[in-house]
Amino acid sequence: VVEAYKQGLRPAVGYELNPWLLCLSNYRAWKAGYRGKVSFLKKDLWKVNLSDCYNVIVFLAPSVKPPLAVKLLAELPDEARVVAGRFPFPSWTPTSTLGQGLEQAWAYDMKEVRRVAQSSAEGSPV
């Protein structure tokens, strides 16, 4: 979230349910001088409406990616970009990638993700 803010993304908000990780995130933001500029909220990502989000960054386990992909496809606008750290979305083709190994990130533009998904659905036998 701090890095997103540094890159000019506003608002910069993180959602976390784990109280320890929430405290750690707020502490790190404070220590880096970004207290009050970024927010970390104790909210369930599955219950948050993401329809007004244009930049989504996720660091989640591979097992969570398929159901999250369904939520993101349903809620995000076409202009949104999703960046996944450590693990890619298995059924999406990234627009770009950066880094290697544990430091790798995958970027996905929702308009392109939807276009590919629609093309695959139209091309599959019914």
Write down the pLDDT at residue 122: 78
Strand ranges (E), 49-104:
55-58, 81-85, 96-98
* The pair of three-digit structure tokens given for residue 97, joined into one six-digit string: 């990638």
The strand pair at 13-15 and 39-41 is best described as parallel
* The pair of three-digit structure tokens given for residue 30, joined into one six-digit string: 């404070």
Within 10 angstroms of residue 81's Cβ, the number of other Cβ atoms is 20
The rounded percent of the chain whose pLDDT value lies above 70 is 97
The rounded percent of the chain whose pLDDT value lies above 90 is 78
> For 10, phi and psi rounded to 5 degrees?
-135, 140
Q: What is the pLDDT of residues 82-126, one digit of tens each?
A: 999 999 999 999 999 999 998 999 999 999 999 998 887 776 555
Select from 51, 94, 46 the least CA-distant residue to 74. 51
Q: What is the pLDDT of residues 64-88, one digit of tens each?
A: 999 999 999 999 999 999 999 999 9
